[in-house]
């Protein structure tokens, strides 16, 4: 993989015709060390956010040894990339064949579930194994998060007591897990969810060995600049310590976005300008799925040797395919004199950008280049000073 100091150095030297993914291994390493050292428990990387084998290896080297997977394909990927990793199958609805393969071939012992039917499926697939970690998923609110995960999974409150009791009888270690939604903008999301955990434990009167607070840890984007992650960790730790659980109970989390968002950005070229619309060479069917389909605003900057002195203005983007849906409304703030042939860096695409890419219309392959400069936004530059997605320094 080639190296360049920055997006500007790459654009100036190569003038790439196709989009280029800019990889920053040092940013992923820094995020992994932060979670490994500061989260008051165990961190499981949510592989769905970015399944790059190179990224998995980086995280492993910096102390992330457990991985949250959602499919048998992700089980195989982690096992082949990191044979010594601990794999946790945390999708609450799994094919019985996938459970059997994960358990018998890859040594997976941790499974999540949210129904009695799923519990029975796990037990059948594992031959009524007695060495299982079974994590019952609660349904919690996503009101503090930008993307809800509150409707698809989570045990029926009317069945929860029975499910916890049945899972306790079958499990070597019983866990309770939840997910507050993606990009949680307040630590209150976790304290409120932990109140539901407490109520569930008291109601079911079971001994719990694992509390898994899931993902949702945020990154910094325009208009979405969260509190320091230490504030989330403190709230979670205090709530965990107050739970009526086993003295040896473990605390887990499943960061995805927070570990990999800063790992990658995208260098794109403007192919056409039409008023306040820019036609670029990547889009909704590439790394910008979230920008198109849920209106996610990523940080952007003009990449040009001579800095523009033009006033900033709001633009929307069209991607390279022939589909009208290949549209990113933004708004994306860029200099008013931008035009065809210019390059734009789109930041914070290490999370979900590469994972969502397709080959529609023949657009979909991008070169990867390692960059040594800082990502466009970071939550890990230091405790006292953080650069936000808008470029403002907060102290």
The pLDDT profile of the chain, 395 residues, written as one tens digit per residue, is 567 788 888 888 889 999 999 999 999 999 999 999 999 999 999 999 999 999 999 999 999 999 999 999 999 999 999 999 999 999 999 999 999 999 999 999 999 999 999 999 999 999 999 999 999 999 988 788 787 777 788 899 999 999 999 999 999 999 999 999 889 999 999 999 999 999 999 999 999 999 999 999 999 999 899 999 999 999 999 999 999 998 899 999 999 999 999 999 999 999 999 999 999 999 999 999 999 998 899 999 999 998 899 999 999 999 999 999 999 998 999 999 999 999 999 999 999 988 888 888 888 777 899 998 999 999 997 643 444 444 443 33
What is the Cα gyration radius of the chain? 22
Domain end call among 260, 285, 311: 260
CATH number at residue 104: 3.20.20.10
> Under the phi-then-psi rule, with left for phi > 0, alpha for psi from -120 to 50, and beta for the rest, what region is 15?
left
Residue 147 burial by CB count (10 A; 0-12/13-18/19+): exposed, middle or buried?
middle
Which residue, of 215, 240, 260, is where some domain finishes?
260
Domain of 295 in residue numbering reads as: 2-23+263-394
Separation in Å, CA 207 to CA 111, 174, 243: 18, 7, 11
Residue 177 sits in the same domain as residue 280: no
Best CA proximity match to 282, nearest among 374, 372, 370, 360: 360
Phi/psi of residue 243, nearest 5 degrees: -80, 150
Based on the fold, state whether residues 233 and 91 are members of the same structural domain: yes
Distance CA 83, CA 63 (A): 15
| Angle of helix 53-61 versus helix 25-38 axis, rounded to 10 | 40
Question: In this structure, are 171 and 219 located in the same domain?
Answer: yes
Q: Which residues contact 51 (CB under 8 A, 6 or more apart)?
A: 74, 77, 355
Q: For residue 79, report the phi and psi dihedrals to the nearest 5 degrees.
A: -60, -40
Is there a contact between 158 and 203 (Cβ–Cβ < 8 Å)? Answer: no
- The verdict on 322 and 374 lying in the same domain is yes
For 151, the token pair is 């409707």
Q: Are residues 60 and 191 in the same domain?
A: yes
Report how far residue 72's alpha carbon sits from residue 370's, in angstroms, rounded to the nearest whole number.
30
Same domain, 268 and 162: no
Q: Give me the pLDDT at residue 185, please.
A: 92
Residues 76 and 168 in one domain: yes
Looking at 226, 260, 294, the residue that finishes a domain is 260
Cβ atoms of 293 and 329 closer than 8 Å: no
Q: 63 and 7 share a domain?
A: no
Q: How many domains does the chain have?
A: 2
The CATH number that applies at residue 308 is 2.40.37.10
Q: How far apart are CA 133 and CA 68, in angstroms?
A: 13
Judge if 175 and 267 occupy the same domain: no
What residue has token string 């109140």?
195
* Distance of alpha carbon 139 from alpha carbon 178, whole angstroms: 7
Shared domain for 33 and 181, answered yes or no, is yes
Distance CA 266, CA 299 (A): 11
Give the model confidence (pLDDT) of 308-351 as tens digits.
Answer: 999 999 999 999 999 999 999 989 999 999 999 999 999 999 99
CA–CA separation, 367 and 52 (whole Å): 14
Helix (H/G/I), strand (E/B), else coil: 1: coil
> How far is the C-alpha of 391 from the C-alpha of 190, rounded, in Å?
28
- Asked whether residue 217 falls in the same domain as residue 304, the answer is no
CA 193 to chain centre: 19
Q: What Cα–Cα distance (Å) separates residue 201 from each residue in 22, 165, 336?
A: 46, 10, 57
Render pLDDT for 96-151 as a digit per residue (tens, 0 to 9).
Answer: 999 999 999 999 999 999 999 999 999 999 999 999 999 999 998 878 878 777 77
Name the pTM for this structure: 0.92
Q: In the chain, helix, strand, coil percent, each to 5?
A: 30, 25, 45
| Residue positions counted in the chain | 395
Q: How far apart are CA 170 and CA 19, in angstroms?
A: 51
Q: Please check whether residues 304 and 315 belong to one and the same domain.
A: yes
**Vertex 305 angle, CA 299 and 311, to 5°:** 55
């Amino acid at each position: 993989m080639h190296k360049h100091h920055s997006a500007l150095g790459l654009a100036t030297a190569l003038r790439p015709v196709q989009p280029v993914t800019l990889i920053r291994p040092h940013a992923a390493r820094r995020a992994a060390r932060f979670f490994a050292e500061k989260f008051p428990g165990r961190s499981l990387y949510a592989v769905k956010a970015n399944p790059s084998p190179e990224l998995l290896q980086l995280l492993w080297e910096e102390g992330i040894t457990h991985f949250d997977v959602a499919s048998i394909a992700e089980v195989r990927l982690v096992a082949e990339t990191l044979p010594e990793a601990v794999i946790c199958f945390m999708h609450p609805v799994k094919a019985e064949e996938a459970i059997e393969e994960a358990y018998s071939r890859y040594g997976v012992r941790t499974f999540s579930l949210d129904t009695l039917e799923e519990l029975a499926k796990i037990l059948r697939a594992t031959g009524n194994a007695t060495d299982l970690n079974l994590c019952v998923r609660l349904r919690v609110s996503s009101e503090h998060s930008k993307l809800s995960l509150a409707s698809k999974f989570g045990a029926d409150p009317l069945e929860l007591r029975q499910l916890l009791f049945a899972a306790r009888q079958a499990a070597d270690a019983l866990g309770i897990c939840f997910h507050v939604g993606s990009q949680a903008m307040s630590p209150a999301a976790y304290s409120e969810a932990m109140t539901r955990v407490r109520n569930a434990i008291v109601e079911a009167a079971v001994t719990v060995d694992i509390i898994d607070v899931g993902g949702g840890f945020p990154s910094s984007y325009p208009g979405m600049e969260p509190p320091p992650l230490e504030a989330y960790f403190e709230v979670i730790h205090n709530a965990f310590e107050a739970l009526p659980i086993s003295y040896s109970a473990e605390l887990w989390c499943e960061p995805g976005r927070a570990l990999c968002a800063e790992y990658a950005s995208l260098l794109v070229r403007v192919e056409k300008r039409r008023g306040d619309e820019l036609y670029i060479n990547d889009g909704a069917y590439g790394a910008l799925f979230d920008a198109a389909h849920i209106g996610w605003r990523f940080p952007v900057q003009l990449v040009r040797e001579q800095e523009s002195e033009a006033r900033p203005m709001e633009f929307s983007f069209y991607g390279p395919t022939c589909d009208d849906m290949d549209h990113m409304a933004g708004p994306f703030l860029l200099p008013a004199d931008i035009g065809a042939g210019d390059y734009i860096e789109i930041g914070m695409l290490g999370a979900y950008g590469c994972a969502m890419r397709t080959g529609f219309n023949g657009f979909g392959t991008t070169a990867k280049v390692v960059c040594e400069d800082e990502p466009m936004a970071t939550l890990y530059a230091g405790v006292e000073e953080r650069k936000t997605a808008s470029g403002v320094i907060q102290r």
